[in-house]
Copies of this chain bind each other. A is one copy, B any other.
């Protein structure tokens, strides 16, 4: 067995109380004692047991993070920021894959509760009432990432999806496009579906452009659905000059299907994506897209969570800044050659 505080106390000829004191940098011991204790700790290779500490302190210095899919580019980008911030503040992070499954999410929450995590980051999913209730019972801080809570004062950090979509479409319009199609994500997704469509429609309206039913098709954010959506778009009236895709995966699907049909990008058709994953700069041509600062969002969310844990106060929500990354898939129609 590894040595315990008792072992070092015995060896150093002091009480465990004093060992504990020097361990925690409290006051109440002579310099001589301190040196003696530190020396024996060193010699024995003693490391405090965080479990025992957690039991008494009611703090485990760990936070739980729930993702619908830990392997997605989205989740892993967030995770890096979260882990970074947690590490810098002496917290550990335990990840749970909810697999977008209600029962599993509840089970994860239960495990996290049993393990006494100090706080929870809930990512990319709507906070259903049953989740909220489970969270309430845990009596620990929670923060939402890329999601919003309607039922209560649980803070979130996310991009303004409506505004980001608006800006993407406005960008296209400013480049001279006035027939713009959109490939949306899931129609009823309250976070990344509805608001982005809303932004699209508002940008059109604000610039005096009509909304056309046949210009709007739906996918599920993924590549395959983007391919189907693009084929659909191609099969109807084909007079739009640009497409706004609500995810990079679907935008890249547009590139792919366009190539298959001999449609040149951006010469024949412009496209703008949404996410700015690493992939966006690797495709041909490099994709112009809306950047979501995932790392920063993760850092901010984790920072807020830790503040809440340590202060007991609720933090404000935060809108993370998005931006448009110009690469080579949008043609500027205002330039006449």
**What 0/1 readout, one digit per residue, does chain A (71-86) give for beta carbons within 8 Å of chain B?**
1110111011001100
The stretch among A9-17, A110-118, A228-236, A307-315 that forms the contact with chain B is: A110-118
B113 touches A97 (CB 8 A): no
Q: Given A97-B87, A282-B256, decide whether A2 and B139 contact each other with a Cβ distance below 8 A.
A: yes
Name A298's closest neighbour in chain B (CB-CB).
Answer: B71
Contact of A279 among B52, B55, B70, B282 (CB under 8 A): B282
**What 0/1 readout, one digit per residue, does chain A (44-63) give for beta carbons within 8 Å of chain B?**
01011111101100001010
A114 touches B284 (CB 8 A): no
Q: Does A204 contact B (CB under 8 A)?
A: no
Q: Given A55-B52, A83-B96, decide whether A256 and B279 contact each other with a Cβ distance below 8 A.
A: no
Q: Does A255 contact B (CB under 8 A)?
A: yes
Subset of 18 A-B contacts with CB under 8 Å: A45-B137, A47-B113, A49-B114, A50-B114, A50-B116, A51-B60, A52-B55, A55-B55, A70-B79, A70-B80, A83-B97, A92-B112, A94-B94, A255-B284, A256-B284, A279-B279, A283-B284, A284-B284
**What 0/1 readout, one digit per residue, does chain A (204-240) give for beta carbons within 8 Å of chain B?**
0000000000000000000100000000000000000
Contacts of A45 in B (CB 8 A): 137
A92-B111, A256-B282 given; 5 more Cβ-contact pairs under 8 Å: A50-B115, A55-B55, A72-B76, A73-B76, A253-B282
Q: Does A170 contact B (CB under 8 A)?
A: no
B282 touches A249 (CB 8 A): yes
Chain A residues with CB under 8 Å of chain B are 2, 45, 47-52, 54-55, 60, 62, 69-73, 75-77, 79-80, 83-84, 87, 92-97, 104, 108, 110-116, 137, 139, 223, 249, 252-253, 255-256, 259, 278-279, 281-284, 295
Contacts of A84 in B (CB 8 A): 97
Contacts of A83 in B (CB 8 A): 70, 95-97
Name A71's closest neighbour in chain B (CB-CB).
Answer: B80
Name A77's closest neighbour in chain B (CB-CB).
Answer: B71
A282 touches B283 (CB 8 A): yes
Count chain B CB atoms within 10 A of each CB in A75, A108, A110 and give the residue with the most.
A75
B114 touches A95 (CB 8 A): no
Contact of A51 among B55, B79, B284 (CB under 8 A): B55
Bound CA span A243–B49, Å:
53
A97 touches B80 (CB 8 A): yes
- Expressed in whole angstroms, the minimum distance between the Cβ of A265 and any Cβ of chain B is 10
Contact of A252 among B79, B112, B282 (CB under 8 A): B282
A223 touches B282 (CB 8 A): yes
Contacts of A71 in B (CB 8 A): 76-77, 79-80, 295
B96 touches A94 (CB 8 A): no
Interchain residue pairs A-B with the least CB separation, the first 4:
A71-B80, A76-B76, A50-B114, A71-B76
B69 touches A95 (CB 8 A): no
Count chain B CB atoms within 10 A of each CB in A47, A69, A70 and give the residue with the most.
A70
B93 touches A95 (CB 8 A): yes
